[in-house]
Structure 1
Amino acid sequence: MTTILVIDDDTKLATFFCNALALNDFATLQAATGLEGMQLAQQHQPQLIVCNINLPDISGYDVLERLRSHTITTAIPVIMVTDHGTPETFRCSMAQGADDYLTKPIDLPDFLQAVRTQLTKREQLAQYFAQAFQTSPPASPASPIKSPYEQLTSPTNLTELEIQLEQLKQSPGSSLWVIQLRNYSDLCADYGHVLGQLVLQTMEQQLRQWQEREQDWGLDSALCLTLAYVGRDRFAVFFRASEPPTQADSKAAWDTAMVNLQTELQQPMVINNHRLVPDIHIEAMVHPDLAQLKTLDSSPIGAALDGPSLSLAERLRRAIQGDELQLYFQPQVDLSSGQIVGAEALVRWYTPEENQILPIQFIPVAEENGLMLPLGEWIIETALRQLTHWQKKQFSAISMALNLSSYQLRSSDFIHRLMAMVKATSISPVMIDLELPERLILEDLSQAKSLLAELSKRGFSPAIDDFSFSSLSHLPDLPVNILKLDKCFVRNLHQNTNNQVIVKAIMDIARSLNISTIANGVETARELSVLKQLKCHSMQGYLFSPALSAQDFETLLLESTKRSPNRRPGLPHPRPLTMGVTSR
């Protein structure tokens, strides 16, 4: 039977959790302190842990850190629980290795769904172990999973390495390479701690294969004595030359071999349906000891991150964590009243030197380096905080349009993270339009239907972005509230009679299905005139306004209110009455 450990000093809540789990055929363990929870975790090795951040003895973060530092508990999924859901506590929990995050008051269906999601993910990872590393698959999600760290280098190799480090100090023909996975923490924060370990294990497999291919080293007189995993995100490879180097180009040969290995390790890998790109740094160390290898954050490896060769991926990772990214907002305008009814959130990146890096430059980098999920969450968090600010300023009916990516479409816990952010800002899902590009819907129609239905069930307004004629036949079966017309149909609409026929058909079908329509990319008064004739609900584009900073957008709202003092922006929003509960 699957065993779940609940660590919480709130006896009533812990009992509530345990009773609910017992009714769903889970065995439970209960601890009121962090130290007691750690002891139970090591004794019983449960399949899942639910832990409160605020505990009477040590914090939940400390519990999480200790769980991840012990081999027998490092792979156990952990769901963190907190009284105060803020983006900071969420990020801290995920960075420490949490797998999910719940904010009180906790909805029972959400809690049980989070539990099942983590157990399902655990089973999928176990199957991945079986396929990738030829281990026996577990019989059920309750079966114990061997920690990936247990399959990494044994302590014996660390002992051998320490002996060889002493020899290195006296032998001019030896070399030690330290290999660091620099985006390990980010991978754990984005995809979970267990997947981060899988990346390390895959790296070790690659290193061992490389270790066996002596002809690929490019080192005629080198012998690889030891490969060792030295902790967290680092491996060490020890070489001793069979004879002291005498040629002038010896260093060049070592450098070439290092570059070849780094190139090989940085090739994208697919783990559990996630395409990941490792950020690898290799350094040859002189007179190191084992303690140095484990604390390289202050070494040249860490210093290299601040150098001029900093990659765009690493700069973007820092920009997400810092203050370089900004949201701009393009107004959406109701065509019958001329009032602003919503805003589409668009990300912009301005460096400290006030240079702009265009989305067309950094979005592909985010996709290739596993940064789309954290970038998407930063956009959602920032947009929701801005919407909260506008609501406090009495712009209560302005909606916020947010673009979803394929990574969010395929993420098993996206809904839970989204709900946590919505609850933290007290924004009603009714005022949030979630746009999914038509091409993504057609690529995975079944998955898209499931996500759109779940979003609609929770009160959001699902939208199809860049809508053309391609998905029209599926429209009656898609639980969407808004169609956003592709700008290719809008451009020069007054001159293109074929497009007028297509747009009219789209408008008629949308009206019959009680779906709102927005025309994107409206740039001329003639285009606008035709859209009004075809009874499109609303528009956005340069004809009315480009995307604006939050302050400029707010100024525009105020000016709109002054022009029509008896009508607040947002009131005439053309939302279907069935929004959020549609049965389609």
Structure 2
Amino acid sequence: MTRFNDPASSRLSSKFLLLLAANVSAFLLTASFFLIFLEQIGNHPDSAKTSVAVITASLMVILGNIGFTVFFFRRYVRKPLRRIIQSIAAADGVGGMVDSSAHNMAGDEWAVIEYALRSMQSELSSQLAAIRNSEARYKLLVENQGDMIVKLDSEGHFQFASPTYCETFGKSQAELLGSVSPITLLAKGQGERGRTMMDLYRPPYECLLEQRSLTTKGWRWFSWNHRALLDERGQVSAIIGVGRDVTDRKQAEMELDRQRSFLHTVIDAVADPILVIGRDYRIKMSNAAALKSFGSSDGSDPKDLTGFCYKATHGENAPCKDAGHPCPLHQVLQTGQAVTALHLHNTTEGERTFELTANPFTDSEGRILGIVQVSRDITEKLKAEDRIRFLAHHDALTGLPNRVLLRDRFVQAANYADRAGHSVAVLFLDLDHFKDVNDSLGHKVGDRLLQEVVVRLSAKVRSSDTVSRLGGDEFVVVVPQAGVQGTSEQIAGHILKALSEPFYIDGHNLRLSASIGISLYPMDGDEFDDLLKSADTAMYSAKEGGRNTYRYYSKEMNQVNTSRLHTLSLMKQALENEEFNLFYQPQVEMATGRIVGLEALVSWNTHDLGRLRPGQFISLAEESGLIVPLGDWVLHQACRQVSNWNREFGCSIPIAVNLSALQIRQQNLTDSVLAALEQSGLSAGLLDLELTESMLLQDTSQVLKTVVSLKSLGVNLIMDDFGTGYSSLSYLKKFNLSGLKIDRSFIVDLIHESEDAAIVRAIIQMSRSLGLSVVAEGVESTDQAAWLKREGCERAQGYYYYKPMDAQNLTGVLSSLQAGALLAMEN
């Protein structure tokens, strides 16, 4: 449809109409006057002359009006009509509304106009029908598509809602029209969504958002695309919105996010740094371990670890393929296979060694997009392997060569000695009384002491000598080019002197000595093990010789050592075969002569060596650890036997049992004592447990705990051999002792008023002041007994009164004494 809009033609048409109306009015007025004048002439014939003049004038006026009208018609009607005709023709050339028939009416403008108007009417009707058909098609499309379509006014009120929208939200078209759309509420709201919706009212006049809404099927996610329609003033006149249900996609995205979050959680939980690196050497992704190793030290997000891999991990400005170590990415791109390499990385913890495993990751067509690089910090592993290799040949505590490396060093020294005609000395060194230090002050102090010993040993040997620790407090020194005896003897002397100086460890002033055995190659043997065994034998000879000395090996020593080993083997069999026997030595009350106690003493009847006294095997039992089962057997046997005697004779004789240093350190000692009391039925108050001063002076937490536990049972704790060690009166109070036993070494010269007499007198007076019982051991003469009785000693034991007896002989003694009332009877 063509529209004509010519402002000039409109103004001319207005002027023409005004002039035409004026001319018509004048014409009609003149005609009216002329008709009236004709009527007057008919009524007055004598005025003919005047009438002619009037008629003439009227005709001139009429003709003037006609001419004027024709002029204006041509100017203001015909010309505009021609322009209209030309416009129609032009429009026909474009729009095709006027066919060729209109052009044939060149002289009839009105016919052309009429024809054009009719053609336009026909064309408009056709276009209107087409518009209606198009509208019907669009309406059908809107009503049958899955997406929702709404139209809102500028204020957000519904003007239209598609059936899909109505069905989705359970609303009718009538309910929605005029109501406020949720979009209006969003636009007025705060936050990101409100700012997004405001884009409808400003360029670009559209917005995209996803919104979760409550529908007839529950909560669903929708994607909305809103676009504003503008009027001729550029103002929003309406809003068109298209919505689509994207719940499935949204749930898939949320599931993907959950999986991605889970994957990141898993990856971040991996202790090894992981980097995803593209072909361009840029880091695409990393985990928390990678950030810790290669990232910033401020603990920021691992995703902040970006940039080039060689820059992040090595601080380089070019790929690693140009550096001294291989580039995993470069190798993967070349081979298409996974690769492994070792790299040194400057991390936040310093330079570390990493084992890199790089696997290619590809697209759907198999093209390599980059690598997934897993870096395992093997710095500590390598250190551990080095440490393991070191420990395979060295001692863990001291760092000295162990037996394996010592053997190798000896073989080298022996080979050289064979060529040069020299000898090689093997020094076997054992620290004296180190076990007491270790047990009393703890392993920490003991380890420190061993390390200080190593320092002194190393300072007293030559650079060609090898100092080795075999274990515990045993050391071996291999001395090449030892001569016959001179060099090894000098070294042994230097070592003994160095070790005799005090050690200051953690505030403790400690003194040590050592026993050293020396064997020589090739005089004492050709094999390392034989020489070591010979030096060990010589070392035991040095201990038996008073310690803090050295001995050279001799064949006679080997015989002694063989005998010692044989005795130890027999002792193990004796425990299994119950070849040990108990003897009992009575303790008497000096004022009355009554038996007021017994001491249990163990003896050993051997098939090969005959009866052995305690002094002949107890030290060996302590060294081998057999003293623990042996002491437990003595405890149970003594309690059972004395309990039987007390029931048989109606008396209350206590029994004294010696405890060894190993026993007091056993955590189950209290349980063993309790078991012995319960199984025998002996009262706890009749059991005296004898402890040596050295045992109490160890003062370890375990010893103190054991002593307190034993006292809680009600047994009596007696300090044996009092005065022979480093006595401390504080221990008498600390351990709540019940009595003391004066060692026999003080009794021998008692009657000569020697220093021993003064010591014994002081012990008796002190015991009386502290309320402790006191027993004198080793009384063998009348004079000794008289002196002790005169000084106030209450009890004594020794050959002067009774020798040790087995159970059978002592039963007879007790039976005869019962008749004479010389037993400690029950109250």
| TM-based fold match above 0.5 | no
Which has the bigger relative contact order, CA under 8 A and spacing at least 6? 1
- Structure number with bigger Rg: 2
Q: TM-score, structure 2 length as denominator?
A: 0.32
